[in-house]
Amino acid sequence: MFKPKGVIPALVTPLDKNGNLMEGALKRVIDYTIAGGVHGLFVLGSSGEIYGLTPEQKRRVVEVTVEHTAGRVPIYCGASEITTQDCIQTAQMVQDIGGVSALSVLTPYFMSPTQSELIEHFTAIANSTNLPVILYGNEARTQVKIDVKTCEELSKVDNIIGIKDSSGDMTKMAEYLRVTDRETFSVLAGRDTLIYAGLCHGGSGAIASTGNIAPKLVSDIYNAFVAGDHQKSLELQFKLAPLRLAVDKATFPVVLKEGLRMVGIDAGYALGPAAEMSPESRRVLEGVLKDLELYQSI
């Protein structure tokens, strides 16, 4: 069974002002992140605005990513809709295209299922596909938690192979690691400030939105750790922190697209009602990227 590991950027979906997919820009983001040494690519996540794309756009994002990546790194793909049947539909679309290593499925949003309903939801999606499935908890955005007991039970489903934890709760991430089997189940940090901490507890890596902008820095946190240089890994984690904190300076995912623009890639605009960054927030981001020696004007 596929084993997720390393740093996997949750890619933005480049869109023009009218919300049309910018395929050339998506290819540039793919090349930029792979050149930075990332260990996989994740499309159609929350950073990729899956919630606002048409079915045709979702399909095209997957097709372009599979074709352009051409096997250079594994591809992960979101199947994160609100209802079980819509998640299954997206999962089957991804499976039909081929070339994707694993699906990531976020908890439902807008509705608030119980833990037993969550177990049924994730199990039904896993049973609908041959692809490995990674659970995704992001309670700050969805208001739905994946309890430790729920994760433990779901980890026993054959093709549920891991969880991305964006709770920011290190105790919870450590508990996910404690109650699941390290051989068959991977825990990935979803909070970019906790990549090193997750690795120290036995985590497999991270799905990191800042990997769009600073792929080498984020990847090297993992690379240094795996090479046994924990001090360097921690120093790089501290170096990354200001960039991750800057991501909260505007409506998500505006900062990721603005950051890409500042490092030389025009990734277009976020879907409304997300608007442009304020001049003050833009100055903060610009300062962070200059400190990281990544800033360039285009």
> So which residues are the catalytic ones?
136, 164
State the Cα angle at 177 between 229 and 210, rounded to 5°: 55
Cα dist. 180→124, 143, 160, 210 in Å? Answer: 20, 24, 12, 27
Sequence-separated (6 or more) residues with CB below 8 Å from residue 67: none
C-alpha span between 210 and 217 (Å, rounded): 9
C-alpha span between 77 and 100 (Å, rounded): 7
Residue 9 and residue 1 in contact, taking contact as beta carbons nearer than 8 Å: no
C-alpha span between 13 and 29 (Å, rounded): 9
